[in-house]
């Protein structure tokens, strides 16, 4: 069965969601992300997706205290991203309790550095975050665009041990309009040795079950949960 990975996005220490990555379209759902993490844990969730939106903007993690509290007070395996653009930042995230570090912009701007992280920590700890808009990879918290496609970027690192990729189609993110599943099935077929994690656009449980029928391995769920379209009971049934 497909793995469900709920998302917690953080601004100012609070649990928020953006629409299409727009910081001006922010909605706060919970004051304390730990409360949300514990709810997910209670529903049988094993892995949690945490994005430090302040860190993505500042190019340095800003909400490590939140990460520390979640890691210390739950059994969840936390994947943490946002602002990991240096070896120092990577170490700070792993030291704060993250099981996985999500790195995106650094893979585009300094591919040799990202390659060295993969070889040092392995694909079991380093996850490539591939955010795309209009077919091209976006960086720096979705504020900049590169000339690379997702396939271009993933292909650079498969020989370095890349094992997990989170792919977010920004135009679908936060819109609750469903997933463009063809993007993900094509990517998984092109890179069968890589676990492709679907992100962006989930609107209901049928979206998730459809991805499962297509053979995709994991999916991140955010706004659909916070807006009540998917419930903790739904998570329990899957988990």
Look at residue 182 and give its three-state secondary structure: helix
Which of 9, 54, 173, 207 is an active site residue?
9
Three-point CA angle 54, 24, 134, nearest 5°: 90
Phi, psi of 81, deg, nearest 5? -140, 165
Residues 6+ apart with CB under 8 A from 203: 176, 177, 178, 224, 229
Contact 66, 89 (CB under 8 A): no
Is there a catalytic annotation at residue 9?
A: yes
Which of 32, 35, 95, 131 is an active site residue?
131
Q: Residue 205's Cα: distance from chain center in Å?
A: 19
Is there a catalytic annotation at residue 35?
A: no
Residues with catalytic function: 9, 131
């Amino acid at each position: 069965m497909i793995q469900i990975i709920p998302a917690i996005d953080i601004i100012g220490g609070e649990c928020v969601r953006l629409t299409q990555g727009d910081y001006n379209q922010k909605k706060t759902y919970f004051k304390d992300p730990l409360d949300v993490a514990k709810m997910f844990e209670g529903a049988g969730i094993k892995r949690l997706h945490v994005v430090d939106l302040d860190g993505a903007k500042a190019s340095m993690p800003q909400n490590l205290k939140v990460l520390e509290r979640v890691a210390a007070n739950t059994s969840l395996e936390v994947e943490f991203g946002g602002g990991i653009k240096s070896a120092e930042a990577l170490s700070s995230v792993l030291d704060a309790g993250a099981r996985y570090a999500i790195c995106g912009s650094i893979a585009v701007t300094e591919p040799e550095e990202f390659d060295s992280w993969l070889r040092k920590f392995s694909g079991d700890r380093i996850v490539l975050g591939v955010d795309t808009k209009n077919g091209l990879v976006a960086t720096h918290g979705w504020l900049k665009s590169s000339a690379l496609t997702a396939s271009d970027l993933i292909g650079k690192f498969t020989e370095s041990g890349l094992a997990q990729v989170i792919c977010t189609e920004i135009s679908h993110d936060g819109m609750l309009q469903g997933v463009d599943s063809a993007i993900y099935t094509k990517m998984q077929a092109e890179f069968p040795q890589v676990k492709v994690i679907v992100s962006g656009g989930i609107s209901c449980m049928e979206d998730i079950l459809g991805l499962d029928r297509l053979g995709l391995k994991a999916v991140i769920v955010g706004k659909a949960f916070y807006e009540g379209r998917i419930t903790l009971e739904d998570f329990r049934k899957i988990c």
